[in-house]
Amino acid sequence: MDDKKAKAKWIIGIVSVCILIYMALQHLDKVTGAVRWLFHLFIPLVMGGAVAFVINVPLRPLERHFFPKSSRPWVRKLRRPCCIVLAILIILGVFVGVGVLVIPELIGAFSVLGHSISSAAKGIQELNLQVYGENSEIMQFINSMDINWADIQAVVIDWIKNSAMGVVDSTVSVVSGVVSSVINFTVALVFGIYILSAKEKLKAQAVHILRTWLPETFTKKFLHISGVVNLCFRKYVVGQTTEALILGSLCAVGMAILRLPYAPMIGALVGVTALIPIVGAFIGAVVGAFMILMVNPVKAVVFIVFLLALQQVEGNIIYPRVVGSSMGLPAIWVLAAVTIGGSLGGIGGMLLSVPTASALYILIGEETEKRAKQRGIPPLPAVGSETSSRQSSEKKSENIRRPRSKNRKK
C-alpha cells in the first residue's frame, strides 16, 4: 500500500512538473520578464554574498592570527570587526596600488600614441600637398567640380544636432547607471559586512532550516556539495591571486632589469590579466607589446621574448605549485572550462569556469567511485600505477625463479 502511494506521488509530481514546463514554454516572455524582475530585485543581495565571499578570503587568515585564544571580553568583541576592516583595507590597497601603477603610465602611453598619430597625420598631409602640387590636373579637376557647400553645411549642422541630442541622452543614461551601480554596491557592501559579522550564526540557522524542512539524505548531499564548491572557489581565488602577484612582480622586475619602458604599468597589467586562466597573461602581453612598440620596436621584440620565457617558468614551476596542486583539475579540463566559460559569459565566465569545473570534477569523481564500489567495478589505475604493478609482478616472478638457498638450519 505504501509502495502504491509512493508511486502515485511520484507520477503526480512528474505530471505536475511537465505541465509547469509546458505552461512556461507557452508564456516564455512572461517567465523571462519575471526572472529578470526577480534578478534585479535580489541583485544587491547576490552582490552582497559575492562581496562577503571575497572579503572572507583575507579575513580567515587574519582571524587565525589576531589573538585567537584571548579570553578578554573586549578583545573577543573587537576581534572580528577589526579583522573585517583590515581585510577591506587590504583589498582596497591592492586596487589602489594597481591603479597608481597603471593609470599614470597608461596616460603617458596614450599621450605618446596621440603624438605618433598626429605626426603621421602631418606627414600624410604634407604628402598630399606634394602630390597635388606636382599634379596640376588633379587640382583643376577638383576646382571644376560643382559642389553645393550650403547643402553640405546644412547636413553637417543637422548631424551635429542629432549627435548632440544622442550624447545628452547617453550621458543621462550613463550617469543614472553609475548612480544605480554605486547604490547597489553600497548596499551589497553593507549586506556583506553583516553576513561576515554573523557568519557562524547564519550558517547554523541555514543548516537547521534545511534539516527541518528537507529530507536528511538531501540535506547531507546539499551540504557536502556546498562545502566542495566553497572550498574550490576559495582555493582558486587564493591561488590565482597569489600567482598573479608573483607573475606581475617578476614581469615588472625583469622589465626594469632589461630597461624596458612602462615596467610598472605592464607588470601590473600582466598581473591583473593573469587572473584569467591560460589566456589572461597573453592579453597583457599583447597590450604591453603594443605600448612598447610605439616607443621602440626593438624593445617590443625583447619584451615578447622575455615574457615568453617568463610564461614557461610560470607555467611549469609557479602555476602547478600555487594553483594546479590546489585545484586538482587536469589541464585539458581547465582549457575546456575556460573556452566554454568565455563563450557563455566573457571574462566573467572565464573567471568562474575553472572553480566550477573543479567542483564538478570532484563531485562527479566521488559519485563515480561510489557507484563503482556498489557494482564491484575496480577503480581506474592512477598515472604510473600500471608501470609500478608491472615492476612488482616482474619482481615476484624473479623471486619465484630464483633458487632457494641450500644452507638451511637443521
Q: Measured between alpha carbons, how far is 287 from 349 in angstroms, rounded to an integer?
A: 21
pLDDT of residue 350: 79
Quickly list DSSP for 130-178. Answer: HHHHH-HHHHHHHHHS---HHHHHHHHHHHHHHHHHHHHHHHHHHHHHH
Closest CA to 353 of 317, 327, 318, 386: 327
Angle at 153 between CA 148 and CA 158, to 5 degrees: 130
Please state the pTM of the whole predicted model: 0.66
pLDDT of residue 394: 43
**Which class for 184: exposed (0-12), middle (13-18), buried (19 or more C-beta within 10 A)?**
middle
Q: For residue 344, which phi and psi values (nearest 5 degrees)?
A: -85, -45
Residue type, 194: Y
Q: Measured between alpha carbons, how far is 385 from 281 in angstroms, rounded to an integer?
A: 35
Q: Measured between alpha carbons, how far is 181 from 185 in angstroms, rounded to an integer?
A: 6
- Cell 600624410 sits on residue: 124
Tens digit of pLDDT for each residue in 269-298? Answer: 888 887 776 677 778 888 888 888 877 888
Closest CA to 236 of 357, 93, 333: 357
pLDDT of residue 396: 43
pLDDT, averaged per 10 consecutive residues of the chain (410 residues), comes to 71 84 82 80 83 88 82 82 91 82 68 67 67 58 62 71 65 72 84 89 90 88 90 83 84 89 83 75 81 84 89 72 63 79 78 85 88 82 47 44 45
